[in-house]
Structure 1
Amino acid sequence: MKILIVGPSWVGDMVMAQTLFTCLRAQHGPDCQIDVLAPEWSRPILERMPEVRQALSFPLGHGALELATRRRIGKELAGTYDQAIVLPNSLKSALVPLFAGIPLRTGWRGEMRYGLLNDLRLLDKARYPLMIERFMALAFAPGSELPRPYPRPALQIEPASREAALGRFGLTLDRPVLALCPGAEFGESKRWPAEHYAAVADEKIRQGWQVWLFGSKKDHPVGEDIRQRLIPGLREESINLSGETSLAEAIDLLSCAAAVVSNDSGLMHVAAALDRPLVAVYGSTSPSFTPPLATRVETVQLGLECSPCFERTCRFGHYNCLRELQPAMVVSRLDGLAGDPLSDPQDP
């Protein structure tokens, strides 16, 4: 069985899609060949998933139609696959499998994709409240019971690749690493305040830890804000890697962390897929739809009357769902998860 997956456009969604790949391998056997058509940025994630044979770079940006390009890509893939599974709900995302003439084209109805998909599913949101359930269900016939326990994303790290990343940034593992992921592509309503992250960093550095900050180039300023809130002597025990690493390096370096604190973001899902002890901070969103999928996870949220609102900015302007969530709560959960790596060091 040769299957083409049209992949999602967000880091977290791509990580969670591994649950579908696992189900497909279980359904069709280890000889099932899974290729993923996705933006080039996702290649480091897909290369760390053993279920994926190859990542196929999709050259169009999010939202671009460019019909001629989609037709060309489809023609190049013609005659290769038995099935396509389209994870985005947009109409345009179903065009490449149609142009490729793939016999079985599976996906949720989405933007009225009649004719584009010939295995069109109607989503029952009550039956499948989790995003991974909506991904996994596409591996099976409509109405099938999903296998339990659910598979979890699990990215595989090559030791040589990790050592290269450590060497490039001059990092050592002589002390336990607290990874902080203070960014969120969604917007301000997902970002726990910099002063709260700094308070957590201060506490752990005083306990003998070092702090690595991760994120995109847009997150570099908030990383610097966090570091500048640390007093001299502690500040030097932190490094801002936001925007400095490639995604591949960020994944490999996150695998070294003794613990992670993150907003609800793509890197949160990466940390969970690396099975790092993780405290995930929720404000405007909820773990009831896209929770981090790992065994050593604590989610913290205040549950105010106005949240979760799922808005990018706070309609009241106060962001109390995040501002009032105190660092002590996160430190307490962190200590419970990570224990004391200084007395019981763990090999990442």
Structure 2
Amino acid sequence: MNILVILPRWVGDLVMATPMLRAVRGHFGNRARITGVLKEHYAELLAGTDWLDDFVPYDRRGRSAAVRFPAVVRALRRRRFDTALIVPNSLSTAALAFAGGARRRVGFARHGRRLLLTDALPPRRRGWRVEPTSPTEHAMDLAVRIGVPAGSLRTELTTLVADERLADGVLGRLFPSGAAGPLVVFNDNGAFGPAKSWGAEKFAALARFVLQQRPDARVLVHCGPGDRDDARSVVTRAGNLSVQSLADEPQLPFGLAKALIRRAAVVVSSDSGPRHIAAAFNRPTIALLGPMDPRLGRSDHPSLREMRLDLPCSPCGRRECPLKHHDCMRLLSVDDVGRMMMPFLEGTLAGGSADPAEPRVASETNRPRSAG
């Protein structure tokens, strides 16, 4: 059987699709060849797993013609797929599976794409409204449609030996004193938009709070390529050598992010990809949700704590605050976040030990290969 899986374009949603990938591979084993469609650099997130045999790089806004719609359609047609599982709800991804020649096309009947699907699943509804559904459940529903038993909704990632070595080097440079205290990871990634951001001043104050309680802690500010200045600002405002960031690292590969987050005693994050990476390694996580509906980000993560305010305007799901006050994030207090994270840091909650689990380190050869 030749199976195509069109995967999400957001890091967090991709991580939340891992239970479905695991279930499909577990059900079909070597009887199926499973090919993913995703952004090329996202394949590194799945490195170390055996769920995909290969992948076709796709980015409809990509600079290279080789990763845009026409070229990817040609690549898919050559593969003659029996079945396509279309995880995103966009019209363009359904069109990709249709034009790519997959004989069976399984997806949700959203955004006018019903006629492009052979198996158009109705979205979950409450009355006439579409019920907000976690991407984890959403993706698993697609697998169940093709006969895969519904499996655990625990997300999962792994690291490679090279990732762990890279993390060793980064931590050695940033914290040269060799301190062995708990690693605390902060993330305020703003790829979605400013509405999710808690802000550099709040994170700097939280760093000071942590170090007052645990002077031996190491606070690491995670960032993506577009967040370097904000990460530097947290470090500058915190004013302590035990607070460092990834802002000056020349490269920020996903493998490094995975290996660092895997080691964290606790992760404090806005609702963005790194919080889902933390969940995939079962690291204690404080998620600052602000404008986002908590139902859209849930997976089976026992060490997750969500912080949000019950405001009349929340959750709005907007990239920018339409009311301009940003209260859903601005009014989340440093003291409340600090008090919520400290039991994890002290290892007093079940599943919240300050000592990370042994790494799931995979062979360097266990990477999805590009078929594009």
| TM-score (norm. length: structure 1) | 0.87
Q: Quickly say closer, same or farther: Cα 1:269–1:23, change in 2 above 3 A.
A: same
Partner of 2:235: 227
Q: Quickly say closer, same or farther: Cα 1:43–1:243, change in 2 above 3 A.
A: farther
Q: Specify every segment of 5 or more residues in structure 2 that has no aligned partner in the other structure, as ranges.
A: 359-372
Partner of 1:153: 155
1:178 aligns with one of 159, 168, 184: 184
Q: Quickly say closer, same or farther: Cα 1:243–1:5, change in 2 above 3 A.
A: farther
Q: Quickly say closer, same or farther: Cα 1:160–1:313, change in 2 above 3 A.
A: closer
Matches within 5 A, 1:196-207: 196-206=202-212, 207=214
Matches within 5 A, 1:256-275: 256-275=263-282
Q: In the alignment, is the contact (CA less than 8 A) between 1:283 and 1:307 conserved in 2?
A: yes
1:242 shift after superposition:
4.0
Q: Quickly say closer, same or farther: Cα 1:89–1:299, change in 2 above 3 A.
A: same
1:26 shift after superposition:
4.5
Q: In the alignment, is the contact (CA less than 8 A) between 1:184 and 1:264 conserved in 2?
A: no
Matched, 1:18 2:25: no
Q: Quickly say closer, same or farther: Cα 1:250–1:87, change in 2 above 3 A.
A: same
1:289 aligns with one of 291, 296, 309: 296
Q: In the alignment, is the contact (CA less than 8 A) between 1:215 and 1:243 conserved in 2?
A: no
Residues of 2 paired with 1:243 and 1:308: CA distance? 34
Residues of 1 paired with 2:117 and 2:280: CA distance? 31
Residues of 2 paired with 1:195 and 1:220: CA distance? 15
1:240 shift after superposition:
1.4
| TM-score (norm. length: structure 2) | 0.82
Of structures 1 and 2, the one scoring higher in RCO (CA 8 A, sep 6+) is: 2
Does 220-229 or 25-34 show the bigger shift?
Answer: 25-34
Matches within 5 A, 1:203-214: 203-206=209-212, 207=214, 208-214=216-222
Partner of 1:238: 243
Residues of 1 paired with 2:103 and 2:68: CA distance? 23
Residues of 2 paired with 1:266 and 1:62: CA distance? 20
Q: Between Structure 1 and Structure 2, how many residues are aligned?
A: 340
Q: Quickly say closer, same or farther: Cα 1:67–1:131, change in 2 above 3 A.
A: closer
Does 200-209 or 323-332 show the bigger shift?
Answer: 200-209
Q: Quickly say closer, same or farther: Cα 1:122–1:59, change in 2 above 3 A.
A: same
CA deviation vs aligned residue, 1:98-125 (integer Å, no higher than 9, x gap) = 3443221111123333453222222224
Q: In the alignment, is the contact (CA less than 8 A) between 1:21 and 1:34 conserved in 2?
A: no
Q: Quickly say closer, same or farther: Cα 1:88–1:181, change in 2 above 3 A.
A: same
RMSD of aligned C-alpha atoms?
Answer: 2.8
CA deviation vs aligned residue, 1:219-257 (integer Å, no higher than 9, x gap) = 1111111111123xx2x1122114732222111221111
Matched, 1:215 2:223: yes
Partner of 2:74: 72
Matched, 1:315 2:317: no
Question: Once the two structures are aligned, what percentage of the paired residues are identical?
Answer: 26
Q: In the alignment, is the contact (CA less than 8 A) between 1:22 and 1:151 conserved in 2?
A: no
Partner of 1:163: 165
Residues of 2 paired with 1:42 and 1:129: CA distance? 23
Q: In the alignment, is the contact (CA less than 8 A) between 1:24 and 1:32 conserved in 2?
A: no
Q: Quickly say closer, same or farther: Cα 1:146–1:129, change in 2 above 3 A.
A: farther
Residues of 2 paired with 1:217 and 1:270: CA distance? 17
2:341 aligns with one of 329, 334, 339: 334
Partner of 2:119: 119
CA deviation vs aligned residue, 1:258-278 (integer Å, no higher than 9, x gap) = 110000011111111111111
Residues of 1 paired with 2:210 and 2:236: CA distance? 16
1:146 shift after superposition:
7.5
Residues of 1 paired with 2:355 and 2:141: CA distance? 40
Residues of 2 paired with 1:97 and 1:266: CA distance? 26
